[in-house]
Amino acid sequence: MVKLFHDASENCSRVVTEKYSTSFSSAIRMLHRDLRTPIFNIYGFVRFADEIVDSFHGYDKHTLLAEFKNETWEAIARGISLNPILNSFQRTVNEYNIDHALIEAFFHSMEMDLSKTRYDSEGYKEYIYGSAEVVGLMCLYVFCDGKKEMYDKLEAPARSLGAAFQKVNFLRDFNADFNGLSRVYFPGCDFSNFTRCDKEKIEADIQLDFDQAYEGILRLPMKSRFGVYVAYKYYLSLFRKIKQLQPATVLQQRVRIPNYRKALIILRASVKNQLRLI
């Protein structure tokens, strides 16, 4: 009967992902059915940790994050947890032998969010690695299914894709991060005088990440390529919309991609996939 518990746990991770990110959820559903559950398991875990540091105002975030971290390691070591999100996550970690150093790096970035509000260049890179790049690498373990040579070849573009997603999120969520949480992630920027030059410099860096990521997407296994490509196109579309805005507008509003646009992205991606263009 333990299978019922595992199934319920994995359903919880799916629901959490769907609740917090319709874009990622729809992209995950474009993956081969064998891959959907483990990727939902990873994103459900990531989402919960992120919520602790971003949303649990009025609570002791340091204690809650520390407890969540300890419970994560206990779940992985025991092979089970009564926390359904951690139970589903540990199943994926143990099944695909995900490097524990990636999980440690992720928690380190979450801890940085509790104490740091501004970053220099090195801190910025360190934060992005732990908060986003390692999430892509955890997923890459699933996509490569134990094929280390493939993983090694795709590691750099997977990191670039995670970095691109995170940097776009920083631009999209600037108002909430700066005005709501007093965080400024981009180093060297004076956001009281955010210029077009500042914005274009950030955008050029993001574009480089997208370009490097695309080369890796083309080399992914067929089971994962289409779903990852859809997520890539979602964020590329969001990025292009942000590029069209004035710097002051970026600082004041949260840019979104409407549902009809997302549906069009999937349709176009499907055509390209059928024509073997991705």
Quick check: 159 pLDDT over 80?
yes
What single-letter amino acid sits at 153?
Answer: K
Nearest to 254 by CA among 241, 264, 263: 241
Tell me what the mean pLDDT of segment 202-225 comes to. Answer: 97
User: Mean pLDDT lowest for which of 9-23, 32-46, 113-127, 242-256?
Assistant: 242-256
3-state SS, the chain, equals CHHHHHHHHHHHHHHHHHHHCHHHHHHHCCCCHHHHHHHHHHHHHHHHHHHHHHHCCCCCHHHHHHHHHHHHHHHHHHCCCCCHHHHHHHHHHHHHCCCHHHHHHHHHHHHHHHHCCECCHHHHHHHHHHHHHHHHHHHHHHHHCCCHHHHHHHHHHHHHHHHHHHHHHHHHCHHHHHHHHCCECCCCCCHHHCCHHHHHHHHHHHHHHHHHHHHHHCCCCHHHHHHHHHHHHHHHHHHHHHHCCCHHHHCCCCCCCCHHHHHHHHHHHHHHHHCCCC
Q: Give the total residue count for the chain.
A: 278
237 is written with which tokens?
A: 């579309």
pLDDT of residue 142: 98
Residue 8 pLDDT grade (very low, low, confident, very high; cuts 50, 70, 90): very high
Give residue-wise pLDDT tens across range 172-191: 887 776 666 677 888 887 77
Number of other CB atoms surrounding residue 83 within 10 Å: 18
Number of other CB atoms surrounding residue 20 within 10 Å: 16
Give residue-wise pLDDT tens across range 76-107: 999 999 999 999 999 999 999 999 999 999 99
Give residue-wise pLDDT tens across range 38-71: 999 999 999 999 999 999 999 999 999 999 999 9
Q: Greater confidence, 277 or 217?
A: 217
Q: Greater confidence, 12 or 181?
A: 12
> Average pLDDT over the chain, rounded to whole?
92
Number of other CB atoms surrounding residue 92 within 10 Å: 23
pLDDT of residue 178: 66
Q: Structurally, what CATH architecture does the domain formed by 2-274 represent?
A: Orthogonal Bundle (1.10)
Dihedral pair phi/psi, residue 255, rounded to 5°: -80, 140
Judge whether 12 and 108 are in contact, CB under 8 Å. Answer: no
Quick check: 249 pLDDT over 70?
yes
> What is the number of helices (H) and of strands (E) in the chain?
15, 0
Judge whether 95 and 124 are in contact, CB under 8 Å. Answer: no
Give residue-wise pLDDT tens across range 140-153: 999 999 999 999 99
